[in-house]
C-alpha cells in the first residue's frame, strides 16, 4: 500500500514547473522530500541527533551526490562505484551550506546531516539550482530549530531578458550565471560569473532571483502545513549569565578599543588581545575558571567584536589604522620563477599569493565526468592554502572544500578573459604564502599577472577585492570596508568578493549576515568595491601593462593545423608508428583530435624549439601536397632504378614519384646514370595520372629544349601485323605450349 503523498507545485512562469513531494520515500529520516522538474529528481533527507555534541559550533554536514544511474551511465574507474565527490559536487555542497548554517541557533550543537542525491537526470535541468530548495523543504518537515524557509535559484540573462534556472544550453548564450540564496525577507548568498556587467545590472539580477525564491519559500511552508508541521524539538541551550556578560564587557571594552585603535599588525594585535583576555581571567579564581571559563571566553569575544565594530562606525577607523575605503600597500613582481612558463607574486598587506602558469595541449585538459555534465576544461585554476600561511601547524588532509571553492571563484573571474582562440590548455596554480584577508582575490591578481607573463593574450587584465560591511540597525549607521582583514571578515555583517576588468564585473561571491539589507546599501558597497578594484588594477598594470608578445624561450610553442580527415591515418601510421617516430625525431608533442562538425583533423604541435615544430609542419605539408597538372616542380633523386629514377618533391619531402627513363631526355637514354645521379636536383613537369599506366607521370625532357633535327618516333600502330595485339597467345604459342605440358600429378603417393 502506497502511503499518502503530499505535494506542492511551483510554477516557474514559462511552462516549466518544480514539484516538491513527501510521504513516499525515506520516512525514517527526520525530514525527506523529492524535488522534481522535468525528468530531474532530487532526494533530500535530513537527520539531526537529539543529543548535543560536546563542541562550541554547529557540526553540520551538507552532502550532495550525483548518482551515475540517474543518467543511465556507469561510473568511470576500475571499481565502477561512486567514490569521493567531484569538484562540481563539492561546490554545490558549499552553496547550500552557506545559506543553511546561519539559520540554525548559535547554541544548537547537535550533529546534523543534510544529504541530497540526484536520482534521475534531465539534460534540460541543472540539478544544483534545486539543491537549496530541496534541503530547506526537508528541514521544514522536520522538528529542527531552524529560523525560516530558504531557497536558491540560478539566474541567467539572454538578450537582456532574465531567466530563472536556465538550461545548460541557455547558459552558453547567457552573459550572467549567478546563484542566489535567500529567504522570503532577505538575500543571504550570491555567487556567480558575469560578462563584465555593471553594479546596477548585478543588483537587478539579484532582485529578479529573489522574487522567484519568495514563491519557492511559500510553497515549502504550504507543504509543511499540509503534511503537519512538527513542534520544534527542545534542546539544551548554552548557559547564559547576563551579569557575567556585563562584567566582562566592562573589563574588556575600553582596553580592546584602545588596542584596536593602535593600528598594530596582525600578530601584535593578536598578542595584545590575548593579554587582555588573560588579565580578565586572572580576576577569577581557579574554581570559577573551571566552572565558567567557557562563558568568560564567549563573553570576551562578544566584547572584542563590539569594540572593534564601534571603532569603525564611530571614528571610521579600522584595526590596522586604515580608513574604510583605503587599500593596504601592494607590491607585485612577475617572472620570479625562472623555469615556469609564467609566474607572479602579488602581495597586499599581510596577504601574499605566488601564481604559476603551465601551458599544454588538449591532452592536459581536465575531463569532467559527472552524471549531470560531461565535458572538459581547457583553462583551470588550482588554489592551495597551506597552514604556514597563517603561522599555524595543522594536519594536511588533502584538498579542502574551501580550497576548491576559492579556486573556482578565481577561475570564474579569469576564464572569460582568456581568448577563445588560445591554442593552449592553461593551468594556473596559486600558492598562498601569507594570509590575512582574501587570499582568493590575491589569487585573481597574481593569476592575471602570471598569465600575462606567460604570454597568454588576455583580453583585459582582471583584479579582485574583498569587501565588508558593518551596520547598526538602531542608529542606521553603516560602514563599507574595502580590502578587509581576516578579523574583519568574522565581525562584519556582510563579506563579499568582487572581481572584474576596468569595464565591468566578471565574478562575485557574497555572504550576507544581516537581515533585510537594502539594495541601496548593496549598490553603494558594489560601487566602493569598483573604486578599490580599479586601484588594485592600476598596481597590476604598473607591474606588467600587457601580455608578453610571445611565450618564454623555454616555454612550449603551439601550432594548430587542420588536415582533411582522409590524411589522419597517414599521419598516425600503422599502430601509431609514423607519429611516434616523428615526435621522437622532432622532440615535440603531437595531438590529433577530430572536429565533430567538419570531421577535419585538428593537429596540435607543441615544442620548445621552432625547428622541431617546423619539421612536423613540413611532414604535414608533405602529406597534403597535391601537384597540379601542367606545373613545374623541383625534385631530388633519391633512388636509381634500371628503368628510371625515383624523385621526391623538394617542397614535400617524402612525397615520391617515378621519373621514367623515357622522360629523362629527348635523346634515347640507355642508362639512367648517363643523365642523372643520386642527389641531383632539377625541375620536372607534372602531367597527372597517365591513363595507360595509371600512375603519376612527370617529365624532365618536357621542360628541356628539343635538340636540332630531332624527329619524334612515329606512334606505334597496334593494328599492324606483329603489333601488340598480334603478339597474343596464338603467336607466342602459349596455348600450344600449354597443350605440350606433361600432366601434373596433384596427388601425392601415400
Annotated binding residues for Mg(2+): 489, 495
- Distance CA(607)–CA(580), nearest Å, equals 14
- Contacts of 84 by beta carbon, 8 Å cutoff, 6+ apart: none
Q: How far, in Å, CA of 373 to CA of 580, rounded?
A: 33
Q: Which helix (H) or strand (E) holds 47?
A: strand 40-52
Neighbours of 141 (CB within 10 A): 25
**Cell 629527348, residue located:** 666
Give the separation between CA 553 and CA 28, rounded to whole angstroms.
64
Exposed (0-12), middle (13-18) or buried (19+): which is 313, by Cβ within 10 Å? Answer: middle
CB atoms within 10 A of CB 161: 9
Q: Is 259 exposed, middle or buried (0-12, 13-18, 19+ CB in 10 A)?
A: buried
Q: How far apart are CA 236 and CA 332, in angstroms?
A: 52
- Binding residue numbers: 489, 495
Dihedral, 408, 409, 411, 417 alpha carbons, nearest 10: 150
Q: Measuring CA to CA, which residue among 335, 337, 333 is closest to residue 347?
A: 333
> Do β-strands 632-641 and 681-689 pair in parallel, antiparallel, or remain unpaired?
antiparallel
Coil, helix or strand at residue 637: strand
SS3 428: strand
- The residue among 272, 239, 267 whose CA lies nearest residue 255 is 272
With beta carbons less than 8 A apart as the criterion, state whether 589 and 361 touch: yes
Q: Are strands 17-22 and 6-11 parallel, antiparallel or unpaired?
A: antiparallel
Provide CB contacts within 8 A for 218, sequence distance 6+. 184
Radius of gyration of the chain (CA): 38
DSSP 58-120: --EEEEEEE-GGGGT-PPSSSS-S--SPPHHHHHHHHHHHHHHGGGS-TT--EEEEEEEEEEE
Cα separations in angstroms, 292 against 58, 107, 252, 275, 289: 21, 16, 17, 19, 5
Give the chain's length.
750
Amino acid at each position: 500500500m502506497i502511503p499518502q503523498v503530499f505535494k506542492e507545485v511551483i510554477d516557474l512562469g514559462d511552462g516549466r514547473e518544480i514539484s516538491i513531494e513527501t510521504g513516499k520515500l525515506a520516512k525514517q529520516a527526520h525530514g525527506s522530500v523529492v524535488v522534481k522538474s522535468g525528468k530531474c529528481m532530487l532526494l533530500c533527507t535530513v537527520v539531526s541527533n537529539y543529543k548535543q555534541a560536546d563542541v562550541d559550533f554547529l557540526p553540520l554536514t551538507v552532502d550532495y551526490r550525483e548518482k551515475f544511474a540517474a543518467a543511465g551511465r556507469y561510473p568511470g574507474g576500475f571499481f565502477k562505484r561512486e567514490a569521493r565527490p567531484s569538484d562540481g559536487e563539492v561546490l554545490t555542497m558549499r552553496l547550500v551550506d552557506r545559506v543553511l548554517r546561519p539559520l540554525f541557533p548559535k547554541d544548537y550543537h547537535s550533529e546534523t546531516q543534510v544529504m541530497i542525491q540526484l536520482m534521475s537526470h534531465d539534460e534540460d535541468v541543472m540539478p544544483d539550482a534545486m539543491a537549496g530548495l530541496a534541503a530547506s523543504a526537508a528541514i521544514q518537515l522536520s522538528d529542527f530549530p531552524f529560523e525560516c524557509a530558504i531557497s536558491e535559484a540560478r539566474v541567467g540573462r539572454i538578450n537582456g531578458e532574465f531567466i530563472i534556472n536556465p538550461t545548460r544550453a541557455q547558459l552558453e548564450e547567457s552573459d550572467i550565471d549567478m546563484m542566489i540564496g535567500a529567504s522570503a525577507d532577505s538575500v543571504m548568498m550570491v555567487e556567480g560569473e558575469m560578462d563584465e556587467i555593471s553594479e546596477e545590472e548585478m543588483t537587478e539580477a539579484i532582485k529578479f532571483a529573489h522574487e522567484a525564491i519568495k514563491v519557492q519559500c511559500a510553497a515549502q511552508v504550504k507543504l509543511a502545513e499540509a503534511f503537519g508541521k512538527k513542534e520544534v524539538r527542545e534542546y539544551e541551550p548554552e548557559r547564559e549569565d547576563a551579569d557575567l556578560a556585563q562584567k566582562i564587557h566592562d573589563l574588556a571594552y575600553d582596553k580592546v578599543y584602545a588596542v584596536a585603535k593602535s593600528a598594530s599588525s596582525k600578530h601584535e594585535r593578536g598578542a595584545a588581545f590575548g593579554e587582555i583576555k588573560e588579565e580578565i581571567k586572572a580576576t577569577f579564581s581557579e574554581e570559577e575558571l573551571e566552572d565558567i571559563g567557557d562563558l568568560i571566553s564567549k563573553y570576551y569575544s562578544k566584547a572584542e567584536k563590539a569594540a572593534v565594530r564601534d571603532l569603525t562606525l564611530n571614528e571610521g577607523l579600522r584595526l590596522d589604522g586604515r580608513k574604510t575605503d583605503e587599500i593596504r600597500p601592494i607590491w607585485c613582481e612577475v617572472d620570479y620563477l625562472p623555469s615556469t612558463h609564467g609566474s607572479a607574486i602579488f602581495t597586499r598587506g599581510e596577504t601574499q599569493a605566488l601564481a604559476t602558469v603551465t601551458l599544454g595541449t588538449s591532452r592536459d585538459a581536465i575531463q569532467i565526468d559527472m552524471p549531470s555534465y560531461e565535458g572538459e576544461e581547457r583553462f583551470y585554476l588550482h588554489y592551495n592554502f597551506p597552514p604556514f600561511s597563517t603561522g599555524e601547524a595543522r594536519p594536511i588532509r588533502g584538498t579542502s572544500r574551501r580550497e576548491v571553492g576559492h579556486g573556482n571563484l578565481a577561475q570564474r573571474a579569469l576564464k572569460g578573459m582568456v581568448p577563445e582562440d588560445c591554442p593552449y590548455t592553461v593551468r594556473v596554480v596559486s600558492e598562498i604564502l601569507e594570509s590575512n584577508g582574501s587570499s582568493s582575490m590575491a589569487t585573481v591578481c597574481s593569476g592575471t599577472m602570471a598569465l600575462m607573463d606567460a604570454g597568454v593574450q588576455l583580453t583585459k587584465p582582471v583584479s579582485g577585492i574583498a569587501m565588508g560591511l558593518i551596520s547598526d540597525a538602531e542608529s542606521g549607521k553603516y560602514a563599507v570596508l574595502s580590502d578587509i582583514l581576516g578579523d574583519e571578515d568574522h565581525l562584519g555583517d556582510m563579506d563579499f568578493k568582487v572581481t572584474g576588468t576596468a569595464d565591468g564585473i566578471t565574478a562575485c561571491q557574497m555572504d550576507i549576515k544581516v537581515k533585510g539589507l537594502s539594495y541601496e546599501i548593496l549598490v553603494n558597497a558594489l560601487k566602493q568595491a569598483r573604486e578599490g578594484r580599479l586601484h588594485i588594477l592600476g598596481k597590476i598594470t604598473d607591474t606588467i601593462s600587457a601580455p608578453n608578445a610571445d611565450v618564454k624561450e623555454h616555454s612550449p610553442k603551439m601550432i594548430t593545423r587542420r588536415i582533411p580527415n582522409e590524411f589522419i591515418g597517414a599521419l598516425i601510421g600503422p599502430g601509431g608508428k609514423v607519429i611516434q617516430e616523428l615526435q621522437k625525431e622532432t622532440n615535440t608533442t603531437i595531438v590529433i583530435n577530430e572536429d565533430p562538425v567538419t570531421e577535419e583533423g585538428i593537429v596540435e604541435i607543441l615544442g620548445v624549439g621552432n625547428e622541431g615544430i617546423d619539421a612536423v609542419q613540413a611532414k604535414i605539408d608533405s602529406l597534403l601536397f597535391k601537384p597540379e597538372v601542367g606545373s613545374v616542380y623541383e625534385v631530388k633523386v633519391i633512388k636509381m632504378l634500371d628503368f628510371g629514377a625515383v624523385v621526391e618533391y623538394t617542397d614535400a619531402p617524402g612525397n615520391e614519384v617515378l621519373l621514367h627513363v623515357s622522360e629523362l631526355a629527348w635523346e634515347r637514354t640507355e642508362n639512367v646514370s648517363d643523365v642523372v645521379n643520386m642527389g641531383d636536383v632539377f625541375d620536372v613537369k607534372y602531367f597527372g595520372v597517365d591513363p595507360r599506366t595509371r600512375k603519376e607521370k612527370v617529365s624532365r625532357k618536357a621542360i628541356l629544349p628539343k635538340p636540332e633535327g630531332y624527329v619524334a618516333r612515329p606512334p606505334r600502330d597496334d593494328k599492324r601485323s606483329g603489333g601488340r595485339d598480334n603478339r597474343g597467345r596464338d603467336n607466342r604459342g602459349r596455348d600450344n605450349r600449354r597443350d605440350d605440358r606433361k600432366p601434373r600429378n596433384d596427388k601425392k603417393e601415400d
